[in-house]
Amino acid sequence: MLHSSGGRPPNPRGLLIAEVAQATQRLADAGVPSPRFDAEELAAYVHDVKRGELHLVPDSDFDARYWEAVSRREAREPLQHITGRAFFRYLELQVGPGVFVPRPETESVAGWAIEAVRAMDVAEPLIVDLCTGSGAIALALAQEVPRSRVHAVELDEGAYGWAVKNVEGSRVTLHHGDALTALPELDGQVDLVVSNPPYIPLTEWEYVAPEARDHDPQLALFSGEDGLSTIRGLERTAHRLLRPGGLVVIEHADTQGGQVPWIFTEDRGWADAADHPDLNNRPRFATARREVP
């Protein structure tokens, strides 16, 4: 039977999909690394649906604010700043200007830490997340290791404010302070120390993606001429906090594979220092065990 509108269904659906295709091209031309995903994610956010439901949005419900969002992303404003949310493992986090946006690569770091803690013969493992940023790693550990006691430390005022929002109602204990001097009351007691610290060399500023360079806090990105200054400091912090046999897990740049394990040497009280790949098989994080006397 024909519809009264000349054969067209009463709520045609296709306009949003066509606009997403145009947006994808615009974002690709602007150099956005994942143009189709971002175009769809922005459409889902503006229209309050899931990405898989975009084809169900009636043409009459198309929201012109979509193109405002696309223009912001075209200017390389981070997708997560526009939507106000970032997804990390099983979490949805609140993010925005002033906090480092968690990256997919860091999920490998959190995953290794979670498996390592689960394998420990400890009833209520004590975990410390240094340079927590949004709280992503700390919250993932608290969620996926239900009996864990998790402390998170953040120095930057803006990032700390976002972490406060994210850890509300969780079992994470948040501390505003310097990761290098944090939590002396836990010295020698911690089962696992984890960190995604700043690790970009100052000399590589111009090569950093605009989403990070122009929007993430500088404190979360850069660390000395070779990028390893903070990691060297965290090596001492981790050794101070960990019990004998405890583990440290530290993210680093894929170009620093092989360098970071050499910071965790036997003569500094470490064993089993090793590098590990991310999901793209690039060296992404180093682990070590505090030696047992």
Binding residues: 154, 196-199
Annotated binding site for S-adenosyl-L-methionine: 154, 196
Judge whether 96 and 105 are in contact, CB under 8 Å.
Answer: no
Annotated binding site for substrate: 196-199
Longest dimension (CA), the chain: 84
Question: CA 86 to CA 101: how far, in whole Å?
Answer: 7
Judge whether 197 and 237 are in contact, CB under 8 Å.
Answer: no
Contacts of 193 (CB under 8 A, 6+ apart): 127, 128, 130, 234, 237, 238, 241, 242, 246, 247, 248, 249
Tokens read off for 91: 């979490």
Question: 152 pairs with which residues across the strands?
Answer: 129, 174
DSSP three-state, residue 91: strand
Tokens read off for 246: 């405890």
Judge whether 283 and 276 are in contact, CB under 8 Å.
Answer: yes
